[in-house]
Amino acid sequence: MDPAARLRALPLRSRLALLVATAVAVAVAGVAAVAWFMVREQLSEQLDSSLRSTNAAAQANQVLGEYRCVSGQVVPPDRLVNNLSAQVQIVFPDGGHCWVDGKNTLRVSGIDLAIAQRERGATFYDTTTTDGTSVRVYSQPATVGPRPAALTVARPLADIDKPLSRLAWVLLLVSGIGVVGGGAAGLLVARAGLRPVDELTDAVEHIARTEDLTVRIPDAGDDEIARLSRSFNSMTAALASSRDRQAQLIADAGHELRTPLTSLRTNIELLARSEETGRAIPPEDRKELLASVKAQMTELATLIGDLQELSRPDAAAPGPLQVVALHDIAAGALSRVRLRGPELTFTRDLRPWYVRGEPAALERAVVNVLDNAVKFSPAGGTVEIALVDGELTVRDHGPGIPAEELPHVFDRFWRSPSARALPGSGLGLSIVARTVQRAGGTARLRPAEPGPGTVAEIRIPGAPTPPPGDPSEGVAGDE
């Protein structure tokens, strides 16, 4: 398993603590490294300054002009041993050198010869003594009597290496303590920060275990956790409402289905008993019985179709949306409904209006509105349908709907007490509202003025002319 996969396998709390510890480790390591390099640079500058000031003091006292080199040493040597803690020697242009001070002799380098021969100026460099000790050397031009020379002063690099080594161990110890502390702090921060997430997890697990959608999580504050909690509470509330509506739909559907099923069962049992007993049902009664069976089967088929339409998710349109002529759809729906009310008079004023929607669903919605008008119209009454400026209105001259019942007319299975005895499932207007809303429009019912009667209004966004290239033509007229 690769490191990334192993990291993803850890709990979120452990990952946060590990990330915090890693961030602290990187920060502490960076600070320690910067501090170590700064201290090394400072110590190096101090060492160079010390070498430079030591050589300057020797020159200021003009000691070199007072001595001569005997057997590789300056005589008398006690005049130059000033507890400088440094290696000091003189290098002549021919490569000879004279030990002045210190414990060991320095190797003569090409730099020293170049300085003694006046080919370059004073400079610093690193080298080793004859016993292998690493030293920092400052070499500059000097004069021994009449002879040009180079005066080299060296101090061990251990003067800065040892403090740097001790500093490195101290920084390493502090870094370790910082990393451990950072990890502990990260764990505490992760626990405190993820407490609301733990509560959310507990709530989700509780809902999954008990299906209790009434659980709510505290959502005080404006941070991301509070927003997540509010979103979760909104989701559970929506789920609870959806479940309640589903349960209500099932209960209402069962209630509506029971009536035609009971009637259908009774009629079929009567026909079956007649066949079993050999007692024939009078022709007129049998004809009415068969007509009732047919009517109940039609009602069942209509109710099942309405339930299927309402059970479809809002996002699932029954067909592709297209530009359709609403006036043609209204004319077609009117032609179908005329057959259901042959004793009624229908008037129409359908002016061109083009909308975007699904033709079959829109026609069914208009048919449902016209069916309601036919159902509540008195014998010999008039049903008026008009489409003017994009507003489709259907008016009947029936008893009308009381004002207190108007807010409920688009509810599923809702039926006015006065309409309980009339055929229908109570889903027609619900389908109308759903179809119109899907097309981006609105639907409402209001009392007719002057009354009596009811006016159904449907408004869908559109235009009086079709888009370029659309062959549809408007249909308008009066009857």
CA gap 33, 174 in Å, rounded: 12
Q: Say if residue 356 is in the same domain as residue 453.
A: yes
Q: Say if residue 268 is in the same domain as residue 383.
A: no
Q: Say if residue 152 is in the same domain as residue 78.
A: yes
Contact 360, 322 (CB under 8 A): no
More confident residue, 78 or 31: 31
53: in domain: yes
Looking at 311, 333, 350, the residue that finishes a domain is: 311
Q: Say if residue 364 is in the same domain as residue 236.
A: no
Phi-psi region of 201 (alpha: psi -120 to 50; beta: other; left: phi over 0): alpha
Instruction: Provide the pLDDT for residue 331.
Output: 92
Three-state secondary structure string covering 244-308: HHHHHHHHHHHHHHHHHHHHHHHHHHHHHHHHHHCCCCCHHHHHHHHHHHHHHHHHHHHHHHHHH
Amino acid at 261: L
Looking at 260, 281, 311, the residue that finishes a domain is: 311
Q: Say if residue 288 is in the same domain as residue 397.
A: no
For the chain, how many structural domains are there in total? 3
Strand partners, 349: 386
Instruction: Provide the pLDDT for residue 426.
Output: 63
Tally Cβ neighbours within 10 Å of residue 333: 22
Looking at 133, 161, 189, the residue that finishes a domain is: 161
Q: Model confidence at 315, in pLDDT bands (50, 70, 90)? A: very low
Q: What is the DSSP letter of 407?
A: G
Count each helix (H run) and each strand (E run) in the chain, helices first: 10, 15
Tally Cβ neighbours within 10 Å of residue 353: 26
User: Domain of 133: which CATH number?
Assistant: 3.30.450.20
pLDDT higher than 60, residue 235: yes
Q: Say if residue 65 is in the same domain as residue 128.
A: yes
275: in domain: yes
Instruction: Provide the pLDDT for residue 124.
Output: 92
**Tens digits of per-residue pLDDT, 331-365?**
988 988 887 778 889 998 999 999 988 888 888 88
Q: Say if residue 326 is in the same domain as residue 433.
A: yes
Nearest CA among 271, 264, 257, 256 for reference residue 297: 264
131 phi, psi to nearest 5 deg: -95, 10
36 phi, psi to nearest 5 deg: -65, -45
User: Domain of 412: which CATH number?
Assistant: 3.30.565.10
Q: Say if residue 427 is in the same domain as residue 451.
A: yes
144: in domain: yes
DSSP string for 51-116: HHHHHHHHHHTT-GGG-EEETTEEESGGGT--S--SEEEEE-TTS-EEEEESSSPBPP-HHHHHHH
Contact 329, 475 (CB under 8 A): no
Whole domain around residue 298: which residue ranges? 224-311
82: in domain: yes
Predicted structure pTM score: 0.46
User: Domain of 306: which CATH number?
Assistant: 1.10.287.130
Q: Say if residue 355 is in the same domain as residue 402.
A: yes
CA gap 239, 356 in Å, rounded: 31
